[in-house]
Amino acid sequence: MKTQNAPDPSDLEARSPTSAAPTTRFKIVEIDLAAPIESIPQGGPNEGVFLLFRVGETYLGHNRLLCTELPAPASRVAYAAAQTTAITVGDLLRLAGFKAKLPSLYQPEAINRPPSIEAIQSELDQGSILKKLSASALASSPAAESVSLVICTRNRAESLAKTLDSVAALQPPPFETIVVDNAPTDSSTQAVVSKYPNINYCIEPKPGLSQARNKGIEAASGAIISYTDDDVRLPTNWIKAIADSFADSQTMATTGLMLPAELRTEAQIEFQKNSEGDGWGYRPRHYTRENFLIPMRRKGAPVWKIGAGANMAFRRSIFAKVGGFDPRLGAGASGCSEDSEMWYRILESGHDIRYDPRAVVFHTHRETMAELSQQMRSYLKGHVVALVIQFLNFGHLGDLRRLLLSLPWYYTRLSVLTLLGIQKTPNLLPSIRGFMSGIAYCLSLPFRHPSRTKATASIK
Amino acid sequence: MVKYATRQIDLADSITDIQLDAEQSGIALTIRNGGRPIAFHLEATSPGAALDSHYLKALVAKKAGRELIADTLRREIRLRPIEEEAPSEEPSLTIAICTRHRSKLLKRCLRSIADLSPLPKDFEVVVVDNAPQNDETEHVTRTFDTVRYVREPLAGLDFARNRALAVSQKDYIAYVDDDTRLDPLWWKGLREAIQENPGVGAITGLVLPLVLDSEAQVLFEQRGGFRRGCEKLIYNGSNNPFNELYPCGAGIFGAGANMTLKRDCLLQIGGFDEALDTGAPLPGGGDLDIFYRMIRAGYPLAYEPLYLLYHEHRSDLRGLRRQYYTWGLGFMAFIKKSIAADPVMKDRFRTLVYWWIRYALKNILKDSIVKRSLPLSMSLAEFWGGIVGYCGEYSRSQKRVQKIRAAQGSVSTNP
């Protein structure tokens, strides 16, 4: 009996030890459950697939098949599809027990009635699930309001051109498209924009994303102002999805789902992993002052989990009530969080926000680890400044508590665990540095800032 | 005395009340949908509890609501018909039961094979009697007229497994432990896994508890038992960038109590390593070794929950302690062997050893603090087994195996 199992010398894999393993990447494959499913062949070395499941234009979930799980026969893909999307399907069929929880920093809110097996069985028995899903996706709300699209950009003409390509394909098209060129150093953005018809180009000379976003409010005349970034691709139904997300007249702001446009590099995969936390997903959420801000503000309400600036929209009228974006926040100023601080004000003023995953954008994540570190740094910096500003605006102690207790404790713990080798934390150092520079930025701020009154005035 | 009831609920039927016996203080519930297992739930109750259908429905909805939607949805999704995926001709099968002096258990196992529905079209059952001292096994086997009886004179489970490999002429060999009972849908699940995964080298299946009539059995099942969940899994290739232990941590692939191997793949990689699973001194590791070598030879591995059987766990704590010792021992012997046999994976195996030490110490810590866990002696036994296994048990075993061969004066049993 042969007991020695020498590896076959022709097996290339066998000779590649762990350290020299080729970098991981994922190919993004969209799968429509309503169409017959096909098998997925093996990709390159260490190449997995990121499966994106949908019925028609409704996205239901994603999952990955690692290189070790490929090639995958069609039956296997169908199985992954069913397992991955079941919870979303339960929610779309309006079954009890499948609603998404609101993001929370402590005990999750019990907003779900427990599921009932009879209800599930009768819903599943009444006919085809897939047919029902397709039908509910087609049922659209009447009297959609005019949607202005605002894209703020700065010196990224090449990436912007790709975004504008997808804007040109939107069906229905937006009421108007406004590109705000933020303190440009050359005319490349203008040159790109001039190639597309029906785009209003304007310049905001003061640097800062908030300044540019406020410029967009000034320039726009639609009832709904939607924002996206210069590094995304919009699916053709985006405007319709945004309009549908405002079906409820109480809703003053909405956010949508951000999916990866590509997962080619380690940094992109890492970013994707970080952005899959609670608050995201394929099930809608409804945020109000009562169900979210008040119960959670003891520890600092996690408003940053409501969505992302690359896929958000507001009723125009809300800016007159709560003001524009705070110029101390956002890229070009402290870093980011101009979106979440806006949501904080909207919720505090008693208006509703909805996360509606029917509105999808495909975001191209940062390619290199250096860019990702830089991004993490500015996230933390902006986050710290936003906490201070929220505290100054409303005096909720939870924001201060998060700033002075929760975050320092969190990073101390992570640092100790990382130093002991118990846990691996990528981008720990940039985050801590971002935290520090956020504090420094706050200390340099003037105590009273004219921004809010100014933004409000300019809108009136 | 702790006893749990083992019950099944199929959502295709109506859910009725469950009345536990007076001495039963818990329940192990297998939830199925039209036969397919979708969830398993273990719960302590008051002794002799009556679980009414209302309570059970709520429990089932919570534990398996999502799985029920998933299972129904999966049946709705259409596949693009491709030639190689069209229901091919049914593969032929040898069911091999390696046994020794356990005729009662063997009888139960053989009966359950007769009860399979559907039965494989082209199959044989081979009972390998391993170094028997009497003819009770042969006697039992002869009462089933379609079952083939083979004797393997050399003592050791992997000698017996290789004997089954030598006598089989079928496409696949399903190895089944003698202390198990097959679910009627066992072959349906196995056939599905083979047809869904063409080219697969090994398939493992779900192993559920047959009875939970003693503390040892309940404790064992609470710690996870042999269960690997109710989701289909597949493994292919030697690198998984998200698991630094893969494929060396071969425990993830399944249990030897319920495994099927493709015969020509098994022949190509040289069959089972007879220095593992040698009975009393080193009674384990053979399944880990064969899964690992399959993966390393480039054959995919699949796990299929519908390919299901029930295992009767050790009922006494002494036997369970022995089992844990065995696992530590077999696991480390497998590691030592593989480091020598497959040196390119040396670093990964070293990481696995560190992982295992942390895992074993964590268990010891848990068992000394947490109440209602396994007795401390179990995790200590596993740890001690690991130490013995690491300190040269495999090479000692190789020498013993040579001696056994020499004593029998037999020629090599190479298939």
Q: What is the pLDDT of residues B387-403, one digit of tens each?
A: 998 888 888 888 888 88
∠ at Cα B195 (B192, B201), nearest 5°? 105
The pLDDT value given to residue B409? 65
Residues of B in contact with A49 (CB under 8 A): none
Is B357 in the same domain as B274? no
Please tell me if residue B86 touches chain A, with a CB cutoff of 8 Å.
no
Torsions phi, psi for B123 (to 5 deg): -150, 165
On whether residue A245 sits in a domain, the answer given is yes
User: How far is it, in rounded angstroms, from Cα A421 to Cα A408?
Assistant: 20
Helix axes A338-348, A209-219, angle to 10 degrees: 60
ipTM score above 0.85: no
Task: From A212, A201, A210, A150, select the one nearest A175 (Cα to Cα).
Answer: A150
Residue B82 lies in a domain: no
Same domain? For B279 and B153 the reply is yes
- Residue B414 counted as domain residue: no
Same domain, A288 and A422: no
Tell me if B15 and A3 make a contact (CB, 8 A cut-off): no
Pair A211, A327 in one domain: yes
Q: How far B11 CA lies from chain A's nearest CA (Å)?
A: 9
Q: Are A367 and A380 in a shared domain? A: no
Q: What number of other Cβ atoms are within 10 A of residue B304's Cβ?
A: 28
Residue A7 lies in a domain: no
Give the separation between CA B184 and CA B8, rounded to whole angstroms.
13
**Does A12 fall in a domain?**
no
CB-nearest partner of A78 from B57, B79, B398: B79
Q: In terms of domains, do B268 and B227 share one? A: yes
Q: Do A411 and A336 lie in a common domain? A: no
- Quick check: is A3 in a domain? no
Q: Is residue B413 part of a domain?
A: no
* A18 belongs to a structural domain: no
Number of domains in chain A: 3
B185 lies in the same domain as B51? no
Could you read off the pLDDT of B49-81 as tens digits, one per residue?
A: 899 988 999 899 888 888 888 988 888 888 876
Cβ of B61 within 8 Å of Cβ of A1? The answer is no
Interface membership of A136 toward B (CB under 8 Å): no
- Residue B257 resides in a domain: yes
Q: Are B180 and B258 in contact (CB under 8 A)?
A: yes
- pLDDT of amino acid A448: 53
Report yes or no on B85 lying in a domain: no
Residues A359 and A401 in one domain: no
Q: Based on the fold, state whether residues A296 and A191 are members of the same structural domain.
A: yes
B210 inside 8 A of chain A by CB: no
Are residue B265 and residue B372 in the same domain, yes or no? no
Closest Cα of chain A to B107: distance in Å?
31
Distance, C-alpha B171 to centroid of its chain: 20
Q: Does A1 touch chain B (CB under 8 A)?
A: yes
Separation CA B125–CA B111 (nearest Å): 11
Same domain, B261 and B213: yes
> Please, which residues 62-121 of chain A have a Cβ atom closer than 8 Å to chain B?
66-76, 78-79, 81-83, 85-87, 89-90, 95, 97-98, 114-118, 120-121
Cβ distance B341 to A11 less than 8 Å, yes or no, reads no
Whether residues B334 and B200 share a domain: the answer is: no
Contact B382, B362 (CB under 8 A): no
Pick from A358, A459, A296: nearest CA to A144: A358
Q: Is A409 on the interface with B (CB under 8 A)?
A: no
The last residue of one of the domains, among B76, B101, B136, is B76
pLDDT of A135 = 76
Shared domain check, A281 and A382:
no
What pLDDT is attached to residue A395? Answer: 87
Domain end point (choices A315, A341, A371): A371
In a domain, A4, yes or no: no
Whether B237 contacts chain A with CB within 8 A: yes
Verify that B289 and B379 share a domain, yes or no: no
Please indicate, yes or no, whether residues B199 and B56 belong to a single structural domain of this protein: no
- What number of residues does chain A have? 460
Question: Cα distance from B292 to chain A (closest Cα, Å)?
Answer: 10
Degrees, nearest 5: CA angle B386-B388-B390: 65
pLDDT digit string (tens) for B128-152?
A: 999 899 999 999 999 998 899 999 9
Domain that holds residue B278: 91-317
Instruction: Give residue A44's pLDDT.
Output: 81
Q: Is B369 on the interface with A (CB under 8 A)?
A: no
Say if the Cβ atoms of B344 and A121 lie within 8 Å: no
A360, A273: one domain: yes
A258 belongs to a structural domain: yes
Q: Is residue A323 part of a domain?
A: yes
DSSP, res A292: I
Query: Which residue in B68, B85, B275 is closest to A73 by CB distance?
Result: B85
- Say if residue B225 is in the same domain as residue B169: yes
Q: Rounded to an integer, what distance in angstroms lies between the CA atom of residue B308 and that of residue B181?
A: 9
pLDDT of the residue at B65: 87
Q: Where are the beta strands (DSSP E) in B284-391?
A: 301-311
Last residue of a domain, one of A136, A152, A186: A136
* Range in A15-29, B102-116, B219-233, B276-290 with the lowest mean pLDDT: A15-29
- Residues A175 and A323 occupy one common structural domain: yes
Domain for residue B281, yes or no?
yes
B112 and B45 housed in the same domain: no
The verdict on A214 and A345 lying in the same domain is: yes
By Cβ distance, the residue of A11, A39, A68 closest to B82 is A39
pLDDT in tens, B154-205: 888 999 999 999 999 999 999 999 999 999 999 999 999 998 888 899 999 9
Tell whether the model's pLDDT for residue B1 goes beyond 80: no
| Across B73-93, average pLDDT | 75
Count of the separate structural domains present in chain B: 3
pLDDT on residue A192: 92
- Say which residues have a Cβ less than 8 Å from residue B83's Cβ, sequence separation at least 6: none
Nearest to B68 by CA among A413, A117, A21: A117
Partners of residue A282 in chain B, C-beta under 8 Å: none
Chain A, residues 215-254, CB within 8 A of chain B, namely none
Q: Are residues A79 and A211 in the same domain?
A: no
Chain A touched by B229 (CB under 8 Å): no
Residue B161 placed within a domain? yes
Q: Are residues A350 and A396 in the same domain?
A: no
From A42, which residue of chain B is nearest by alpha-carbon distance?
B236
CATH (domain of A221):
3.90.550.10
Segments in A236-284 forming alpha helices (H): 238-245, 266-274
Among B268, B301, B317, identify where a domain stops.
B317
Per the domain annotation, does B86 fall within a domain? no
Q: What is the CATH number of the domain that holds B230?
A: 3.90.550.10
- Kindly give the parts of chain A with pLDDT less than 50: 1-21, 450, 453-460
Half-sphere exposure (Cβ direction) of A420: Cα atoms closer than 13 Å: 8
Structural element, H or E, at residue B405: helix B394-408
Question: Considering only alpha carbons, which residue of chain A is nearest residue B295?
Answer: A68
The tokens for B288 are 């880990």
**B158 and B50 in one domain?**
no
From chain A, the residues in CB contact with B196 under 8 A are: 73, 75-76
Residue B299 has a CB neighbour count (10 Å cut-off) of: 21
Chain B: nearest CA to A169, how far in angstroms?
Answer: 30
Residue A180 domain boundaries: 141-371
A97 CB neighbours in chain B (<8 A) are: 61-62, 65
Cα–Cα distance, A335 to A389 (Å, whole number): 14
B45 touches chain A (CB under 8 A): no
